[in-house]
Chain A
Amino acid sequence: MKLRRVSGVAIKAFLALVLLGHGATAATSSSGPKLPQLDLTTYPSQVFWLVISFVVLYFLVAKLAMPRIAEVLEERQERIEDDLDKAETLKKEAYQVRIEYEKALSAAREKAQDATRHAQEEIAKRSAEAESAAQVKVTVMLEEAEKRIAASKTGAEGTSGDPVSSLERSVAQEVVANAVQKLIGVDVTAADIDAAIAATLEERPQ
C-alpha cells in the first residue's frame, strides 16, 4: 500500500516535472510563468480568503457541528452501557432462577424416587401377605378335601353300588370347583368334575 502510494506519487511528480519543464520552456519563448500556481499576484487573495474560510469553518464545526455529534454519540454510548448493565443483571437473575429450578428439580426427583420405592415395598409386602394367606387357605382346603376323600373312601368300602353318595358327590363337586377357581382361575362345571371323578375312580385299583 505504502509502496504503491510512493510509486504513484513518483509518477505524478515526474509528470508534473515534465509539465513544469514544458511550462518553463514555453515561458522562455513567450512571456511570464506558464504555471498559474506560480503567479505571485494571486497569493494575497488566496491566503486572505483561505484564512477567512478556514476560521469561519473552524467556528461552525467547533461550536455548531461537533457538540451535536458528541451529544448523539454520548447518548448512544450511555444507552448501550445501560442496556449492557440491564443485560448483566438479567443474566444474573436468570442464573439464580436456573439454580433454584435445578434445586427444585432434584428435590422433586428424590421425592419421586422415595415414593416409587415406598410403593414397591408396599406392593411386595401386600403380595407376600396375600400369597401366604392363599397358601394357608389352600393347605386347609386340601387337608379338608383329603379328609373327606379318606372318609368317603372308608364309607364307600362299606356300601355297595355307587361308591360315592350323592351328598358326597355334590360336596366334592363344590370343593373342587372352588379350589380350581382359586388355584388356576378356571370355572369348571359339575359335569367336568363328574367326569374327572369317574376317571379317578376308574384308575383306582379295586
Chain B
Amino acid sequence: MASPVDQFKLKTLVPFEVGGVDLAYTTSSLWMTITVVAVTLFLTLSMRGGRLVPGRWQSLAEMSYEFIANMIRENVGTEGRKYFPFIFTLFMFILMGNLLGMIPYSYTFTSQIVVTFAIAITIFLGVTVIGIVLHGFHFFTLFVPPGMPVVLAPLLIPIEVISYFVRPVSLSVRLFANMMAGHTMMKVFAGFTAALGILGIAPILLLVALTGFEIMVAVLQAYVFTVLTCLYLNDAIHLH
C-alpha cells in the first residue's frame, strides 16, 4: 500500500530550468493555473448578466465580494479599502485551491508548506513595510502593550517581538497543517477501506463524513488566513 503522504509528491509535467534552478511546471503549478482560471471564470461569468435580482451564481460571486468587503470594513476600517483587491484575491485563491483539492486525483497546493509560507512571509513583509511607511519609527510602539508598567518592559517587549515575528510561521503552518492532515487522514481511511474488503463499509461511512468536514475546513481555513491578514494589516495601520 502506498504511503498516505505519497499524494503530496509533485509530478513534473513540463520540465523547465533557468540557470540550473529547477522551475518545472508540476501538478502543483497545474492546479494553481486551474485555480486562477476557475476564480476568474467564476467571478466574471456569474456577473455577465449583471442582473438586478441575482441568480445563484451571481449571488455567490456577490456574496464573496461583500463578505471580504465587510471583513475589511470591520477589521481594518476605511483605510483598508486600498488593499481590498489583494485581500479578495488572496481569499479566492486559497479558497478555490482548498476546494479544488477536495476533488479526487487533484492536487492541493495549499498542502505545501513552501506555498503557504511564501504567501505568509509576503503578507508579513508587506504589512511591516506598510506600518513603517505610515508611522516611521513610531511603528515600533507596536511592541509595547498599552498601559504596560515600566517594570514589566524587559519581559513583555521580547514576548511581543517574538509573537510578531512568529506570525508568518503560525499563519503558514496553520493552513499547511490543516490541509496536509486532512488529506492524509482521508487517505488513511481510504487505505483501510481497500484493505478491509466487505468490512470497509465502516471506514467509507467515516470517509463520507470526513469529506464534508474537510470541505468545511477548506472554507474555514481560507477565512482564517484572510481574517488574520486583515488583523495584521489593522495592527500596521492603527498600531494599537
Interface residues of A (CB under 8 A from B): 5, 8-9, 12-13, 15-16, 19, 23, 26, 34-39, 41-51, 53-54, 56-58, 60-62, 64-66, 68-73, 75-76, 79
Contact = CB atoms under 8 A, between A and B. Distances in A.
Interface string B97-123: 000000000000101111100110000
Interface stretch (B40-48, B126-134, B136-144, B229-237): B40-48
B220 A5 contact: yes
Interface stretch (B161-169, B178-186, B194-202): B178-186
B32 A53 contact: yes
Interface residues of B, number: 61
15 contacts: A9-B177, A16-B180, A36-B10, A41-B22, A42-B22, A48-B23, A49-B28, A49-B32, A50-B32, A50-B118, A60-B36, A64-B40, A69-B43, A72-B47, A72-B51
Nearest to B91: A61
B89 A69 contact: no
A141 B220 CA distance: 114
A87 B149 CA distance: 58
B85 interface: yes
Consensus secondary structure, chain A interface: helix
Nearest to B12: A45
Interface string B187-224: 00000000000000000000000000100010010000
Contacts of A75: 50, 52
B118 A72 contact: no
A58 B62 CA distance: 18
B66 interface: yes
B174 interface: yes
A51 B119 CA distance: 9
